[in-house]
Amino acid sequence: KDTSYTTFWHGYLYSALFFTLTHALNAIASGSLFHYTVDFLRTDSFSGYFQISHLTNSLFGFYLFFFTGLSAKEVKGWRAAFLALFFMAISPRFFGQSMNNPKDIPFAATYMLTIYLMIRFFKQMPKPSFKTMVFLMIAIGMTIGTRVGGVILIGYLLLFGMLFYVLRRWRQKDPVPLLPWVGRLLGVAFSGYLIGLFFWPYGQINPLLNIFRALAKLSDFRF
């Protein structure tokens, strides 16, 4: 019932997967989830929170490199994977911020996880495995749950999914039924969006409109 967070600067525009995860890990490390939740502003707990935040951030950085390499491998093989991983690792912007940036790095990591799973999903169409579909839903949800701009991945999914259908149907003369194809695309997109809303209270207020309101405001910052 308390929606006062919607007046807190621009913080409500961001979803909170990373911070929820970090607080949960800190609560586990502190030995008591209940007492941590009640008293997390104690100096010792808050100091511990930042240590765990840096650790969690670096893990997201690792998976950013990892899934960038795997995505390149799916497209062009292991040599491309090695080059992608190498150039990511020697990029100061990515490597340095992997330990210190709790917004952009987790978003980039979940984004590349989604791209990797999306490529596998398209390769397996028209009958992708249940495992691939579930993981892709979760990955889309994690990306939106990290930053609402991840909703663009739903656009990619639908756009490239239908382009791939056209290639299969008309260029390769593969008589693939349209409705099951579209149904799988929409099912993954809708489920991924719902998972993302779990970590974004402002989006839960109005799932259909607040995503557009948030994107408009996030693209209009003065700094």
Averaged pLDDT for residues 69-80: 95
Secondary structure element (H or E) that encloses residue 30, with its range: helix 17-30
Q: Write the CA distances from 205 to 13, 73, 140, 153, integer angstroms.
A: 12, 40, 20, 22
The overall average pLDDT reported for the chain is 87
Residue 72: both structure tokens together: 């390149």
- Report d(CA 20, CA 93) in Å as an integer: 25
Res 173: pLDDT: 75
% the chain with pLDDT above 90: 50
Rg (CA), the chain: 20
pTM: predicted TM-score of the whole model, two decimal places: 0.87
